[in-house]
């Protein structure tokens, strides 16, 4: 056994060495060393062009399909709106819709359990807004194995990781998060007069829509060379964390005059921190989601702007695409949902 292991080690080491070594060719006179051309990187899968939501005509489903809508957490009203849109559409189509969510933004394991449950309940389709872009893949593969189609909403499952795992998704229905964030951030930076110190509260790091919102913010910042980035940290999409992370940022940088938050929950937390530091009116805050509570803050002036990304449409489109698919229609690989800038001026009485 020891000999076999030793042989295996030698084999692995020599093959590894050969693979990484330049190739030697022997000619009559000399031994020439030719560099091995580097292996070209595998191109990242191109994101498909997002299509408008197709008009599937008058859908008359053959039966009351069982559709499982799986979201992150109902403690964020964003998902209550998504559920409302899905329920209304299910009502119109006579569909048996079940909707569930984990308790916390960060509870991707619980969400994976909900997926497995939907498979055990023999759902006809799963419509999911995943808490993480990679960790849900094993649970979703089980849905593939059970022939249950999966529709991805709101936060994109990482296309590269999905391809490597062999995961098949029917479609992604959601907004262009980078461009949404760029709109809000550009409005904020302009309102700051194009100067001063800005900070960002990010969503959960590594998650597709959080990363894209950061990208959009950075893109906007590139157009304002006189604005300095003071700090950028994650507050995990949560209000309490938004409050504590921004309290600490303010202690470290008391001269921040602008803040972009990747969602309204974190913005609401940051506004609490601003009030506690007695800095109302000194820091402009931009959010994302257009929650009702955020609209109140827009009206009072505590929030400068936010982004409407239509979670009700995501929910409704998710249900409609699932039903259309089950009825044999073709679904585009990506369906777009718009993002709209909502400003104080639009809402002030
Ligand atoms: C994202 C949404 C939101 C939301 C966040 C929190 O996927 O797009 O903006 O606030 O989830 O879970």
Q: 209, 235, 236, 311: which to mutate for ligand 1, most atoms within 8 A of CB?
A: 209
Sheet holding 150-153, edge to edge: 96-102, 66-73, 125-128, 150-153, 171-174, 334-336
Of the candidates 87, 107, 106, the residue with the CA atom closest to the CA atom of residue 98: 87
What does the pLDDT read at residue 51? 87
Mind listing the pLDDT tens digit for each residue in 80-115? 999 999 999 999 999 999 999 999 888 899 999 999
Residue whose CA is closest, atom 7 of ligand 1? Answer: 155
CA dihedral 31, 37, 38, 42 (to 10 degrees): -150
User: How many CB atoms are located within 10 Å of the residue 137 CB?
Assistant: 19
What does the pLDDT read at residue 16? 33
Residue whose CA is closest, atom 12 of ligand 1? Answer: 105
Q: Is the CB of 177 under 6 A from ligand 1?
A: no
Residue whose CA is closest, atom 9 of ligand 1? Answer: 263
Mind listing the pLDDT tens digit for each residue in 13-66? 333 333 333 333 333 333 344 444 444 444 444 556 788 998 888 899 989 999
What does the pLDDT read at residue 90? 97
Query: Do the beta carbons of residue 155 and residue 127 sit within 8 Å?
Result: no
For residue 278, what pLDDT band results from cuts at 50, 70 and 90? very high
Please check the confidence at residue 320 and state whether its pLDDT lies above 60: yes
In the chain the domains, ranked by start, together with CATH numbers, are 66-175+311-337 (3.40.50.2300), 177-308 (3.40.50.2300)
Mind listing the pLDDT tens digit for each residue in 55-86? 888 899 989 999 999 999 999 999 999 999 99
């Amino acid at each position: 056994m020891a000999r076999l292991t030793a042989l295996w080690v030698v084999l692995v080491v020599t093959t590894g060495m050969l693979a990484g070594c330049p190739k030697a060719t022997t000619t009559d006179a000399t031994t020439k060393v030719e560099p091995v051309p580097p292996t070209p990187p595998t191109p990242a899968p191109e994101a498909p062009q997002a299509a408008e939501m197709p008009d599937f005509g008058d859908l008359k489903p053959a039966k009351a399909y069982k559709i499982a809508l799986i979201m992150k957490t109902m403690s964020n009203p964003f998902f209550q709106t998504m559920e409302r849109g899905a329920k209304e559409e299910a009502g119109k189509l006579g569909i048996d819709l079940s909707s569930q969510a984990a308790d916390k933004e960060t509870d991707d394991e619980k969400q994976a359990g909900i997926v497995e449950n939907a498979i055990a309940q023999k759902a006809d389709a799963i419509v999911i807004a995943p808490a993480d872009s990679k960790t849900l893949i094993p649970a979703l593969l089980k849905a593939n194995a059970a022939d249950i189609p999966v529709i991805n909403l709101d936060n994109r499952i990482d296309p590269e990781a999905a391809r490597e795992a062999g995961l098949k998704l029917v479609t992604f229905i959601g907004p262009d998060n980078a461009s949404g964030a760029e709109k809000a951030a550009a409005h904020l930076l302009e309102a700051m007069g194009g100067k001063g110190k800005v900070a960002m509260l990010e969503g959960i790091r590594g998650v597709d829509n959080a990363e894209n919102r950061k990208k959009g913010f950075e893109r906007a910042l590139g157009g304002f060379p006189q604005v300095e980035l003071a700090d950028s940290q994650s507050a995990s999409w949560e209000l309490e964390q938004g409050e504590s992370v921004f309290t600490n940022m303010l202690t470290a940088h008391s001269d921040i005059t602008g803040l972009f938050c990747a969602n309204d929950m974190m913005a609401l937390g940051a506004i609490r921190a601003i009030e506690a530091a007695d800095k109302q009116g000194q820091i402009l805050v931009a959010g994302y989601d257009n929650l009702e509570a955020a609209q109140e803050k827009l009206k009072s002036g505590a929030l400068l702007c936010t982004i409407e990304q239509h979670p009700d449409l995501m929910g409704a489109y998710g249900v409609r695409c699932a039903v259309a698919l089950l009825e044999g229609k073709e679904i585009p690989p990506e369906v777009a949902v718009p993002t709209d800038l909502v400003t104080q001026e639009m809402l002030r009485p």
